[in-house]
Every structure is written in C-alpha cells, then in structure tokens.
Amino acid sequence: MMMHKRNEGPQRTCVGCMRRDSQSRMLRIAAQANSLTLDEDRRMPGRGAYLHHNNGCITDFVHRRIRELRSLRRKPSFDERQKLAELIHARLDSSAALK
C-alpha cells in the first residue's frame, strides 16, 4: 500500500474505487455525446471523470451499478463503460501502466 504524499497536484475521485487520489495517478475519461472516451492528453473539452490505471478500478467501474456520475452529469450505460474499458486496455496493455 502506497503512502499518501502531499504535493502531487489536484485530487480527484476515482470512478472505480471511489477513493480520492492524485490526478496524476489516474486516467481522464471524457464524456462525448453518446460515448465515453479516454482523454490521453487531458485536454478534451467538457465533462471528465478520473479512473485509476489498474484493472481492479477499471473492472469496478464497468460492473458497478452506478448512479449518475456527478463529474460527467450523466449515467453511462453498461455498454459505454465496457467500450471504454476495451479502449483503455487496448491503449495500456503495451505500456507498463497496469499493475
């Protein structure tokens, strides 16, 4: 378990485990008209949510019975969430980000 350190920039709530953590340890998800996408450069306009880069949080986010996400102002469907998870896995499988 990692100790909580200060001075790591803004804190955000992970939509997988729902814990607050440094934004730098999370991926940004951007809400588009009818889908969710991975905002790798964190520059997409509009609403965004944050998710840790680990399989546990990604899986929790897909399978959680969610209410509306305040950060996105809507409730993404299971399909939208599953597609996002596939997108994240496709991008990250080749990197060392997944632990």
Q: Which of residues 48-67 bind Zn ion (CB under 5 A)?
A: 52, 57
* SS3 state at 34: coil
Q: Which is nearer to Zn ion, 31 or 52 (CB)?
A: 52
The residue sitting closest to Zn ion, measured at its beta carbon, is: 14
What is the closest distance, in whole angstroms, from the C-beta atom of residue 55 to Zn ion in the complex? Answer: 11
Regarding beta strands 48-52 and 26-31, do their DSSP bridges make them parallel or antiparallel, or are they unpaired? antiparallel
* Under rule CB under 5 A, residue 14 binds Zn ion: yes
* SS3 state at 91: helix
CA distance 14 to 58: 10
Summarize as ranges the residues that interact with Zn ion (CB under 5 A): 14, 16-17, 52, 57
